[in-house]
Structure 1
Amino acid sequence: MTTAGREQVGAKGERTRRQIIEGALQALRTGGVAATTTRDIAAGAGVRLATLHYHFESKSALLLAVLEYLIDETTAALREETSDTADVASCIRESLRAGWRYLTRTLELQIVQYELTLYALRRDDAAGLAAYQYDAYVRVYQDILQGVAVRTGELDAAGCADVARFMLAGIDGLLLQELAKPNKARSSRAIETLIAAAQGFASRVSNDRKARR
């Protein structure tokens, strides 16, 4: 087989793999982790069951691939939705508002992601994926903050990481609350409260840094 032929086969394999992952995601949105079978996923993806098992040796391997896919999709969306800002306080405000807009547009996907995170935590060979997920989301907020802090000198890298963890902890808690007991008005007020708290925390971290100089 020529190099071009091998590349074509490889590209087709990647397309099929993505098709299966997207089919799995659709099945999970409908039935959840426990009720979804590989046969359901194959039917939803429009592939033979044998093709699914060629690309994924088990349901577990496929579910973990779906979680990785969701992590990549979410981190990319969070980066795209956050615009440039003048200072850290504005950055916190805009990134948390943008993050909340994305999360509330994709509530069904967030439920699937929580299910898959718990699934990964229960598996000895996949618990690291759950940690990777949260590290990835912290890194998004940290990178956004550092893009501003490098210019303004308000926070160092460690300070940006601390503020990013605070932001993620807050928005994650609000998302769980919204999923459990939906109330858009309450959640909107809570996001603004979280913004003020994160801004206050960032200010204290910045002042502590200046005091140590």
Structure 2
Amino acid sequence: MARAAAKAVEAKPETKSMLLEAAKQVLHQNGLSGLSTRDVALSAGVPLSQIHYHFGSKQGMVLALFEYMNDQLLDRQNALFSDPLLKLSEQWDRACDYLEDDLKSGYVRVLQELIAAGFADQTVAKVIRAGIAGWVDLIAGLARKAEREFGPLGPFAAEEVAALIANAFIGAESLYLLGLEKKGPPVRRSLRRIGDLIRVAEGQKAKR
């Protein structure tokens, strides 16, 4: 009877999504170090065996959670940058607001810890490279939009601007998690200042 019930759970297509949503909740409550497979299964209301069935291991679950959250956040960013009612500077401001949300949700910590794990584990590295590449591609599209709107981006190609911005955010996140901002350097405020530069360019364009 128990085996039949377990197979019924396995057959439900929404079980994996339930587990990932439960993992997000446990992550938010307990952090990555407290993200236990048992707590995730309990939160989802399914047997612990379902973690192994869908993800193979705790590492598999964490990587699947990263991809799940990353896809959701990329969808959010794509919607933001395609909003015709927002100026480019306003989109940048909103992106900085989203960084605050991502720090609170635990996504940033997951990303940073998996980056570190990827130095020694090529399975992890492959997943994280793909995730970051999605962000770089998105930012490159935004840089090309800025290029069309304001003209050449100095000596930089759109892809080079995207590489710099992606690294600025990842680096800022790392320094924030290390607590450096408490010691003085205004990590997040510096990112927001780029929005002010965009506003200057918008103002100059309006005067032409």
- Same fold (TM > 0.5): yes
Alignment correspondent of 2:113:
115
* CA separation of 1:135 and 1:123: change in aligned 2, threshold 3 A: same
1:137 is matched with which residue? Answer: 135
- 8 Å CA contact retained: 2:77, 2:95: yes
Distance 1:56 1:175, change over 3 A: closer
Cα deviation digits, residues 109-159 of structure 1 (max 9, x gap): 22233233333444222211121122111111112232454577636xx81
Which residue of the partner structure matches residue 210 of structure 1?
none
Question: Hey, what does 1:191 align to over in structure 2?
Answer: 191
CA distance in 2, matches of 1:173, 1:198: 21
2:167 paired residue among 166, 169, 173: 169
Q: Secondary structure at the match of 1:22?
A: helix
How does the TM-score come out when normalised to structure 1? 0.70
Deviation, 1:22, is: 1.4
Q: Deviations over 1:46-81 (max 9, x none)?
A: 211122222121111111101111211121112222
Contact 1:42 1:52 in 2 (8 A): yes
Q: Which residue of 2 aligns with 1:61?
A: 60
Q: State how far apart, in whole Å, the 2-side matches of 1:51 and 1:102 are.
A: 32
Query: Is the 8 Å Cα contact of residues 20 and 41 (structure 1) preserved in structure 2?
Result: yes
**Alpha-carbon separation, structure 2, partners of 1:176 and 1:194:** 19
Unaligned stretches of 5+ residues in structure 1 = 1-8, 201-213
Name the structure 2 match of 1:33: 32
Aligned to 1:206: none
With the length of structure 2 as denominator, give the TM-score of the two structures: 0.71
Which ranges of structure 2 fall in alignment gaps of 5 or more residues?
A: 1-8, 201-208
Partner SS, residue 31 of structure 2: helix
Deviation of 1:160 after TM superposition, in Å, equals 1.0
Is the 1:121–1:130 Cα contact (8 Å) retained in structure 2?
A: no
Alignment RMSD (CA, Å): 3.4
Question: Distance between the aligned counterparts of 1:106 and 1:41, measured in 2?
Answer: 20
| Corresponding position of 2:125 | 127
Residue identity in the other structure for 2:12:
K
Distance 1:144 1:85, change over 3 A: farther
Deviation at 1:16, TM superposition (A): 0.8
Report deviation, 1:10. Answer: 9.6
Q: Judging changes above 3 Å, is the alpha-carbon distance between structure 1 residues 35 and 189 closer, same or farther for their aligned structure 2 residues? A: closer
- Distance (whole Å) between structure 2 residues aligned to residue 195 and residue 152 of structure 1: 14
Following superposition, the deviation at residue 168 of structure 1 comes to: 1.6
Aligned length: 184
Cα distance, 1:25 vs structure 2: 2.0
Provide the C-alpha distance between the structure 2 equivalents of 1:121 and 1:40, rounded to a whole number of angstroms: 28
Q: CA deviation at 1:181?
A: 5.1
C-alpha spacing 1:112/1:100, structure 2 compared with 1 (3 Å): same
How far the C-alpha of 1:182 sits from its partner, in A, is 5.7
Q: Percent identity?
A: 24
Q: 1:167 to 1:126 in 2, by over 3 A?
A: same
Alignment deviations for residues 180-211 of structure 1 (CA, whole Å, 9 cap, x no partner): 2567xx456412434467899xxxxxxxxxxx
In 2, the alpha carbon distance for the partners of 1:165 and 1:11 equals 42
Aligned AA (1:191): L
Moved more, 162-171 or 191-200: 191-200
